[in-house]
Amino acid sequence: MNIPFPNLIPVIPEIIITTFASILLLVELFVKRKAVLGYIAIIAAAAAFYALFCTDCLGVTFSDMFINDDYSRYFKVIFLINVVLTVLISLRYIQKEDAEYGEYYSLILFATAGMMLMASAKDFIILYLGLELMALSTYILAGIKKHDIKSNEAAIKYMLLGAFSSSLLLFGISLLYGITASTNIYDIGKFIISAKFTPVLMVSMILITVGFAFKIAAAPFHMWTPDVYEGAPTSVTAFMSVGPKAAGFAVMGRVFYYAFNGLQLEWTPILIGLCILTMAVGNIVALSQTNIKRMLAYSSIAHAGYAMLGVIAGTVEGQNAMITYLIIYAFMNIGAFGIVILLNKGEQISDYCGLSKSHPLIAAVMLVFMFSLTGIPPTAGFIGKFNIFAAAINAGFTWVVVIAVIFSAISAFYYLRVVMNMYMKTSEEDSLITTSPSLGIALFLSVLAVLVIGILPSFVII
């Protein structure tokens, strides 16, 4: 038997990330200052970024199972941004929280390698491998505060529900294999277009949708999100709220556009239902939260709803808008979590009272993130929403967009409540902060990106 050696060039970014992740595990034994590991992780992300854009690494490999195209490349940008920002906000924070284990940065890189595989999957096997690599790493990350009971609870909950959803996904994939005799996404697509519609096909599609919906935290599969986001260390929450969600959208886009393109009439109403429900649950439940991490958890559910409009549109324009939206979301959401980390006592929304008096600059930065999450110009959040609404309207889903804007208006209330507390209320005690240069850089980068993209969106609108 003669198995040819696969062409490794398209996988170079993944190889870089995985190698660095493994090196980190070894280096960790020898260094005392764990922060060094963080810097190595950033170097890894930078090297992968260089490999993605400065070398000619587009292509298909591993017997047509792995594809590195523009679609996956832009998703990988999101994952790498996610790594850099997460590491920057983590450096000081995990020290303070007593969670500074060497594996931390290594797990972040492994999870990222999983996400990158997912974005590049041309085959359900690779997709599932990537998904599990990502999921297992994030389960551990969620519980990395070993002695904190809430963190433990988060990890267990996440793992149990995650395993459940993975099995549903796997079941769906196996049914699909039974019908089409293939695990290749594109081959399945060709088969389905010419095949007759059967109930089994529908069942397998629904099971796969459920698996993805769990990863992007779409209602009604969102139940784990608030608890996990609240319990996990804040830096991990920031990481989880962007990375796995974007990876979920990456596979969702690819599977629905290429494997199920023959079933568009069937999956569009399902996704519209999910989308509306997700926006409704996210935005309405967020209104009554008093803990800002829970509030941001529900807000991230709501944002998954908006981003889903890009999939629903079913056009290349929609895909691009979704990627743009997720890039912007990465900056504003990690930025907001960065502020939560910055405050010594910042978990409750009432902790933000009088922040503009004691720390005007921090309050101003938070104000930018909050208005951006609401989607008010001239911030990037508006550009993201505009772009995705435009794509959905062009595809003929104006009525869904009308519902989305109404929920978007509702969302203003809970974001504004943070602004209100910071600027319009006073508190007896000044809030204390723990600054560090790396956190400062992360916040500076995020706020700069949010404002620059808001004013000159040509950078991200493809």
Task: Please give the Cα distance from 369 to 373 (Å, whole number).
Answer: 6
Q: Does 288 bind another protein (CB under 8 A)?
A: no
The minimum distance between CB 68 and another protein, in angstroms, equals 24
Cβ(341)–Cβ(438) below 8 Å: no
| Coil/strand/helix, residue 36 | helix
Q: Does 139 bind another protein (CB under 8 A)?
A: no
Q: Does 284 bind another protein (CB under 8 A)?
A: no
Give the interface segment with another protein, choosing from 25-33, 45-53, 175-183, 412-420 (CB under 8 A). Answer: 412-420
Q: How many CA atoms lie within 13 A of 371 on its CB side?
A: 16
Closer to another protein by Cβ: residue 94 or 400: 400
Q: Does 306 bind another protein (CB under 8 A)?
A: no
For 339-366, letters b (16+ CB in 10 Å) and e give bbbbbeebeebebbbbbbebbeebbebb
How many of the chain's residues bind another protein (CB under 8 A)? 32
- Selected binder of another protein within 57, 153, 203, 377 (CB under 8 A): 377
Q: Does 17 bind another protein (CB under 8 A)?
A: no
**Residues, the chain:** 462
The minimum distance between CB 392 and another protein, in angstroms, equals 9
Closer to another protein by Cβ: residue 50 or 459: 459
Residues 6 or more apart from 251 whose CB is under 8 A from it?
118, 119, 121, 127, 131, 212
Closer to another protein by Cβ: residue 179 or 420: 420
Closer to another protein by Cβ: residue 178 or 360: 360
328: its two tokens = 């912007």
Task: Please give the Cα distance from 218 to 215 (Å, whole number).
Answer: 8
| DSSP per-residue letters across 77-106 | HHHHHHHHHHHHHHHHHHHHTT---THHHH
**Cis upstream peptide for 378 (omega within 30°):** yes
Q: Please list every residue from 340 through 359 that binds another protein, using CB under 8 A.
A: 356-357
**Residue 375 identity:** G
| Coil/strand/helix, residue 59 | strand
The minimum distance between CB 352 and another protein, in angstroms, equals 14
Q: Does 458 bind another protein (CB under 8 A)?
A: yes
Q: Please list every residue from 438 through 457 that binds another protein, using CB under 8 A.
A: 457
Q: Between the CA of residue 257 and those of 248, 261, 267, what are the distances in Å?
A: 14, 5, 10
290 burial (CB, 10 Å; 0-12 / 13-18 / 19+) is: exposed
Give the interface segment with another protein, choosing from 101-109, 184-192, 326-334, 388-396 (CB under 8 A). Answer: 388-396
Q: Does 376 bind another protein (CB under 8 A)?
A: yes
Closer to another protein by Cβ: residue 190 or 425: 425
Q: Between the CA of residue 427 and those of 59, 336, 353, what are the distances in Å?
A: 58, 21, 6
Closer to another protein by Cβ: residue 262 or 377: 377
The minimum distance between CB 371 and another protein, in angstroms, equals 6
Closer to another protein by Cβ: residue 53 or 413: 413
Q: Does 179 bind another protein (CB under 8 A)?
A: no
Q: Does 177 bind another protein (CB under 8 A)?
A: no
Q: Does 316 bind another protein (CB under 8 A)?
A: no
307 burial (CB, 10 Å; 0-12 / 13-18 / 19+) is: buried
Closer to another protein by Cβ: residue 269 or 360: 360
Site string for another protein, 389-408 (x = CB under 8 A): xx--xx---x--xx--xx-x
Q: Does 423 bind another protein (CB under 8 A)?
A: yes
Task: Please give the Cα distance from 157 to 138 (Å, whole number).
Answer: 12
458 burial (CB, 10 Å; 0-12 / 13-18 / 19+) is: exposed
The minimum distance between CB 302 and another protein, in angstroms, equals 14
Closer to another protein by Cβ: residue 356 or 436: 356
Residues that bind another protein (CB under 8 A): 356-357, 360, 371, 376-378, 382, 386, 389-390, 393-394, 398, 401-402, 405-406, 408-409, 412-413, 416, 419-420, 423-425, 457-458, 461-462
